[in-house]
Amino acid sequence: MAKLIRLNSPWTGIRTVAVLFSVIYSCWTTGEQFPALDLASAAGLDWFSLGQPVKAHASIFTDVDASKHALNPSLVFINALPSLGWIELNVHGISQVHVGRWDPSGWIKDRAAQNMDETHRAFDLTMSSDGKIPYLAWIELNAKNISQLYVKRQSEGQWIVEEGSLNLDPSQGAANPALSATGPIPYLAWCEYNPQRVFQLYVKQRSADGWHLAGAGSLNISAARDAIKPAMALQGSAPYLAWAELSDLNFYQVYVKRWNGSSWDLLGQSLNMDPENHALNPSIAVLGDTPYVAWIETDGKGIFQLHVKHWDQGRWIVDGKNLNMDPDRHAMSPSLVQAGSMVYLAWTEYDAKGISQIHVKHRAGDRWESDDQRLNATPPTASSVPSLATWNGAIYIAWKEVYPNGLAQIIVKHLAAQ
């Protein structure tokens, strides 16, 4: 296991963790390539670092301050190299969208924040790419303090705004964007208030002349009930959409729909283990032509348990029941990704001291195997919101961690042969 050290100088030659633009990043030495993994077995794999460490020097990057909170990581690959989007507070305490990427010569950060207006707060960042063209989506407050949905696309090294606000109605607040640009057509899901202040779920797809609704409108099971926290994954060019929606009994249920090219087909009914428990925060991945969904759900004691199901022959099959490391501790923020012939699952879970830790498992045959018990850089401090990404069969993870000085930082690691 690579030893984690906080850097205090702009450059160092040791293998360690670097503070990258208020982001902690583990690295390999310069010149090493990102190797493919033999994922047939987890034996001999461990979490390691990635490139010559770099700390952003204040004289070069004055707009990003390592003494400010960094939040909400989203990890993707562009031209076979890792790229990271995140939210960071500026000197005025206003949350800004930032992007950094690894280059063979070192770390490069886009100098300017990507906010539409740097005086307005941004949040709910998500990033996606087909490996060549990255997209950013986020929510930002406008001058009337109404949350708007924005998308940018990178073209020739520049981030280009796509159409301005993508809200259906700019007078109503948007939330929870989910972006999937891994296939030939990018898709964007989000939640937006209707005039009755009920969150409706929508999806747009990008075409040559802009972003257009995919489907007739709201995808809610019931337009009278809030839909929240969508997640998307593509099978070829067809998106699967998972989300949580409040039932008539006032319990959140997880549902999945699939786009057939002209409308959305509901796959079964609620995925909940018990429809009278809350199910939240779904994450979805597609292995071959099979969608897998992870989510958290309260048990009879009110403790959030981690579950996974996959769709097979017209029904949802349980792949993991109570996947928590300790069923007496809350699990949160699942992140599911397909890598080779496996699915990997990351999440945060509270330990016996009430501190949230990062965990990763992968599905091996009919069982889940753990990939390291804890990944936290400093186990006594809290971690959350993991983001998994894969390239060439290798597994990468980013997450937010609160350091002993109270500042939230972002850490990135990857799984490699020992």
Q: What is the DSSP string of 71-106?
A: EEEEEEEETTEEEEEEEEE-TTS-EEEEEEEEETTE
Token pair for residue 281? 């925060």
Q: Buried (b) or exposed (e) across 314-328, using 16+ Cβ within 10 A? A: eebeebbeebbbeee
**Residue 350 scores a pLDDT above 90:** yes
Where is pLDDT greater, at 6 or 240? 240
- How far apart are alpha carbons 74 and 62 in whole angstroms? 23
Number of Cβ within a 10 Å radius of residue 362: 22
Looking at residues 361-366, what average pLDDT do you find?
89
DSSP collapsed to 3 states, 166-205:
CCCCCCCCEEEEEEECCCCCCEEEEEEECCCCCEEEEEEE
Looking at residues 352-356, what average pLDDT do you find?
92
Q: Write the pLDDT tens digit of every residue in 372-390.
A: 766 887 777 899 999 999 9
Where is pLDDT greater, at 65 or 397? 397
Looking at residues 199-226, what average pLDDT do you find?
97
Q: Residue 298: its pLDDT value, please?
A: 98
Percent of the chain with pLDDT over 70: 82
**Residue 412 scores a pLDDT above 60:** yes
- How far apart are alpha carbons 219 and 187 in whole angstroms? 14
**Residue 322 scores a pLDDT above 80:** yes
**Residue 4 scores a pLDDT above 50:** no
Q: Buried (b) or exposed (e) across 272-305, using 16+ Cβ within 10 A? A: bbeeebbbbbbbbbbbeeebbbbbbbbeeeebbb
Q: Residue 14: its pLDDT value, please?
A: 24
Q: Residue 107: its pLDDT value, please?
A: 62
Q: Which is it for the CA torsion 109, 110, 114, 119, positive or negative?
A: positive
pTM of the entire structure? 0.87
Q: Write the pLDDT tens digit of every residue in 116-158.
A: 999 999 999 999 999 999 999 999 999 999 999 999 999 988 9
- How far apart are alpha carbons 151 and 128 in whole angstroms? 11
Q: Residue 27: its pLDDT value, please?
A: 32
Token pair for residue 410? 């972002």
- How far apart are alpha carbons 415 and 399 in whole angstroms? 14
Q: Residue 248: its pLDDT value, please?
A: 97
Q: Residue 318: its pLDDT value, please?
A: 97
Q: Please list the residues that pair with 401 across neighbouring strands.
A: 383, 409
**Residue 13 scores a pLDDT above 80:** no
Number of Cβ within a 10 Å radius of residue 410: 28
Q: Residue 30: its pLDDT value, please?
A: 26
Q: Residue 393: its pLDDT value, please?
A: 80
Task: Sort 118 into a burial class: Cβ within 10 Å, 0-12 / 13-18 / 19+.
Answer: middle
Of the candidates 316, 314, 337, the residue with the CA atom closest to the CA atom of residue 397 = 337
Q: Residue 417: its pLDDT value, please?
A: 55
Q: Is 77:131 a contact under the CB 8 Å cutoff?
A: yes
**Which range is least confidently modeled, 61-65, 85-89, 265-269, 314-318?**
61-65
- How far apart are alpha carbons 106 and 29 in whole angstroms? 10
**Residue 338 scores a pLDDT above 60:** yes
Q: Residue 203: its pLDDT value, please?
A: 99
- How far apart are alpha carbons 418 and 414 in whole angstroms? 12
Looking at residues 211-226, what average pLDDT do you find?
97
Where is pLDDT greater, at 20 or 200? 200
Q: Is 84:72 a contact under the CB 8 Å cutoff?
A: no
Which residues are CB-neighbours of 52 under 8 A, at least 6 positions away?
13, 27, 29, 30, 106
Q: Residue 162: its pLDDT value, please?
A: 95
Please report which confidence band the pLDDT of residue 394 belongs to, taking 50, 70 and 90 as the band edges: confident
Token pair for residue 72? 């909400």
Q: Write the pLDDT tens digit of every residue in 31-90.
A: 233 444 344 444 556 665 553 222 222 222 223 455 678 889 999 999 888 899 999 999
Percent of the chain with pLDDT over 90: 67
Please report which confidence band the pLDDT of residue 22 belongs to, taking 50, 70 and 90 as the band edges: very low
Q: Residue 64: its pLDDT value, please?
A: 44
